[in-house]
Amino acid sequence: MKVLIVGGGNMGRTYAESFISNQSVSRRDLFILEKEKEKIPYFNALGFDSVLIEPDETISQMSLIILAVKPQDSTDLFQKMSRFMKEGQLVLSIMAGVTIKTLKNSLPTTKIIRAMPNLPAQVGMGMTGFSADDSVTRSELFLVQNLLNTTGKSLYFDEESLLDAVTAISGSGPAYVYFFMQSMIDAGQKMGFSPSEAETLVAQTFLGAVHLLNNNNLTCKEWIDKVSSKGGTTEAATKNFSESSLKEKIEDGLMAALHRSKELGS
């Protein structure tokens, strides 16, 4: 199966490396289209020999084309690519905010899958939400989901509009986690820890809490109740969180992200 990754930036490289290391695509069958000639030696050093600088005939031979460029770079690029694409070629786009309808209007195919990954994809712990045009077959969806899963987990949604919510929850989510972690690190330093001690305490606490959640049937709410004994230290903190409406503020923040994602998409 020949795969072309358009855009050899953060995400393009993440996919290229994940597909190869998971043996989902062979090096021989993986192609990268990247506009800067200067980047060829860099890709060659990573073991990728098939680097295109301009769209050409090679594109017509691809079983899957992955669009990993910034939306603002896509208009001219799509025009050039369209000349070489076959009708009905399978396309996976990870471009934030670019709808399936827009892609169908810009490319000579209806077989579009749109995905929203997140940053931890770079370390194989990503979360990707994806949706597809009705013309994409089950086996094509299955093929693409297997590739997405080389970077972590994925969830399929019938409703493309839910990808705005995916952006608000898991797309932007790592930053919310870092915000909470940084607040705990700052508090730790005020309590007397060095920055590195505070970071170790906090990072391992997050890692441990998530592992515990994933390895049991209890919900987050049940875990909070389980560790908050009456009159104890945990309850002192969680009571303070509730009294200052922290939960509502977090929800408001996520709703603002959802609103912004919809705004950018239109």
Residues interacting with ligand NAP, by CB under 6 A?
Answer: 6-12, 33-36, 68-71, 73, 77, 94-96, 116-119, 171
Query: Considering the complex, what minimum distance in angstroms separates the CB of residue 199 from ligand NAP?
Result: 22
Query: Considering the complex, what minimum distance in angstroms separates the CB of residue 122 from ligand NAP?
Result: 8
Nearest CB to ligand NAP, comparing residues 98 and 198: 98
Query: Considering the complex, what minimum distance in angstroms separates the CB of residue 154 from ligand NAP?
Result: 13
Nearest CB to ligand NAP, comparing residues 171 and 188: 171
Determine phi and psi for 230, rounding to 5 degrees.
-60, 130
Query: Could you tell me the two tokens for 237?
Result: 């903190």
Query: Considering the complex, what minimum distance in angstroms separates the CB of residue 11 from ligand NAP?
Result: 3
Nearest CB to ligand NAP, comparing residues 123 and 187: 123
Nearest CB to ligand NAP, comparing residues 70 and 249: 70
Provide the CA 91 distance to its chain's centre, in angstroms: 17
Query: Considering the complex, what minimum distance in angstroms separates the CB of residue 231 from ligand NAP?
Result: 43
Do 266 and 98 meet the contact criterion of CB atoms below 8 Å apart?
A: no
Q: Which amino acid is at 204?
A: Q
Do 4 and 65 meet the contact criterion of CB atoms below 8 Å apart?
A: yes
Nearest CB to ligand NAP, comparing residues 198 and 261: 261
In this chain, which residue has its C-beta nearest to ligand NAP?
A: 9
Do 6 and 12 meet the contact criterion of CB atoms below 8 Å apart?
A: yes
Nearest CB to ligand NAP, comparing residues 3 and 68: 68
Q: Which amino acid is at 37?
A: K
Query: Considering the complex, what minimum distance in angstroms separates the CB of residue 259 from ligand NAP?
Result: 18
Q: What is the DSSP string of 9-47?
A: SHHHHHHHHHHHHTTSS-GGGEEEE-S-GGGHHHHHHTT
CA angle 226, 155, 147 (to 5 degrees): 125
Query: Considering the complex, what minimum distance in angstroms separates the CB of residue 83 from ligand NAP?
Result: 14
Q: Give the whole-angstrom CA distance, residue 190 versus residue 209.
A: 23
Query: Considering the complex, what minimum distance in angstroms separates the CB of residue 93 from ligand NAP?
Result: 8
Nearest CB to ligand NAP, comparing residues 30 and 33: 33
HEC-encoded secondary structure of 154-221: EEECCCCCHHHHHHHHHHCHHHHHHHHHHHHHHHHHHCCCCHHHHHHHHHHHHHHHHHHHHCCCCCHH
Do 70 and 77 meet the contact criterion of CB atoms below 8 Å apart?
A: no
Nearest CB to ligand NAP, comparing residues 108 and 174: 174
